A and B are shown apart, each in its own frame.
Chain A
Amino acid sequence: MTKKIKEVKKLKVGWFTFTCSEDSTIMFTELMNEHYEEWFRLIDFKNFRLLKKNGKPKGLDVAFVEGAICAPEDIKKLREIRKNCKKLVAIGSCAVVGKPSAQRMDFTEAQRKEIEFIISRFHYAEKVYALHELVKVDESVPGCPMDTNTFLNILNKQLVEFGVKNA
Chain B
Amino acid sequence: MHKGDITLDSLSKIEGHADLVIKIKDKKVEDINFSITEHKRFFTQAMHGKHIEVLPQHLSRICGTCSIAHLLCSIESIEKALEVKVSEQTKLLRKLSMYGLMIRDHALHLYLLALPDVLGKNSVLDFGEEYHNYIHDAFDVKAVGNKLAIFAAGRSVHAPFPIIGGFNHTPDNSQIPDLIKSLESIRETALKLIEIYYKCNFKLERETNFVGLKAEEYGFIEGRIHTSNGKIIEEKGYLGHLNHIVIPYSESSAYEFEGKEYMVGALARLNLGKELLHKRTQESCRKELKEFPSINIYRNNLAQAIEILHSIDHSIEILEKTKFRQEAPVKFEIRASEGVGVVEAPRGTLYHRVKMDDKGIVTDGNIIVPTSQNQINMRDDLKKLVQENIDKSKDFIVNEAEKLIRAYDPCMSCASHFLRVKWV
Contact = CB atoms under 8 A, between A and B. Distances in A.
Contact of B157 (A19, A50, A103, A145): A145
Given A29-B112, A52-B126, A145-B158, 11 more contacts: A23-B61, A23-B157, A26-B157, A27-B156, A30-B143, A33-B143, A49-B13, A50-B112, A53-B12, A104-B46, A122-B40
Given A22-B16, A23-B67, A30-B146, A49 B10 contact: yes
A22 B15 contact: yes
B422 interface: yes
Interface in B34-61: 38-43, 45-46, 48-49, 58, 61
A30 B45 contact: no
A114 B43 CA distance: 13
Given A29-B112, A100-B41, A144-B61, A117 B158 contact: no
19 contacts: A21-B61, A23-B67, A26-B156, A30-B142, A30-B157, A33-B140, A36-B135, A36-B139, A52-B13, A53-B123, A54-B10, A54-B12, A100-B61, A103-B43, A104-B42, A118-B42, A118-B251, A145-B157, A145-B158
Contacts of B126: 52
Interface string A110-122: 0100110110011
B125 A111 contact: no
A34 B64 CA distance: 19
Interface of B: 10, 12-17, 38-43, 45-46, 48-49, 58, 61-65, 67, 104, 108, 112-113, 122-126, 135, 139-140, 142-143, 146, 156-158, 251, 413, 418-420, 422-423
Interface in A17-48: 17-27, 29-30, 32-34, 36, 40, 45, 48
A18 B41 CA distance: 11
A121 B423 CA distance: 9
B38 A19 contact: yes
Contact of B422 (A21, A74, A117): A117
Contacts of B10: 49, 54
Nearest to B41: A101
B40 A52 contact: no
B422 A111 contact: no
A154 to B, nearest CB: 19
A144 B63 CA distance: 11
Given A26-B157, A27-B157, A50-B113, A21 B63 contact: yes
A101 B417 CA distance: 10
Interface string A3-20: 000000000000001111
Given A29-B142, A34-B143, A23 B13 contact: no
Contacts of A36: 135, 139
B420 A114 contact: yes
A139 B417 CA distance: 28
A51 B67 contact: no
Given A23-B158, A144-B158, A145-B158, A51 B39 contact: no
Contact of A30 (B12, B38, B48, B156): B156
Interface string A40-75: 100001001111111000000000000000110010
A52 B12 contact: yes
A60 B357 CA distance: 52
B113 A21 contact: no
A124 interface: yes
Nearest to B38: A19
B61 A51 contact: no
Given A40-B125, A50-B113, A107 B42 contact: yes
B12 A70 contact: no
Contacts of B12: 49-54
Contacts of B58: 100
Among A27, A117, A118, A121, residue most surrounded by chain B Cβ atoms (within 10 Å): A118
B15 A118 contact: no
Contacts of A21: 61-64, 67, 413
A24 B156 CA distance: 11
A19 B412 CA distance: 11
Contacts of A22: 15-16, 63-65, 413
B45 A111 contact: yes
A52 to B, nearest CB: 4
B64 A122 contact: no
Given A52-B12, A115-B45, A33 B64 contact: no
Contacts of B39: 18-19, 70-71, 74, 122, 124
Nearest to A23: B64
B124 A51 contact: yes
Contacts of A115: 40, 42, 45, 418
A56 to B, nearest CB: 11
A49 B38 CA distance: 14
A18 B48 CA distance: 25
Given A51-B13, A53-B123, A114 B45 contact: yes
A118 B41 CA distance: 11
B119 to A, nearest CB: 14
A143 to B, nearest CB: 10
A26 to B, nearest CB: 4
Among B108, B122, B139, residue most surrounded by chain A Cβ atoms (within 10 Å): B139
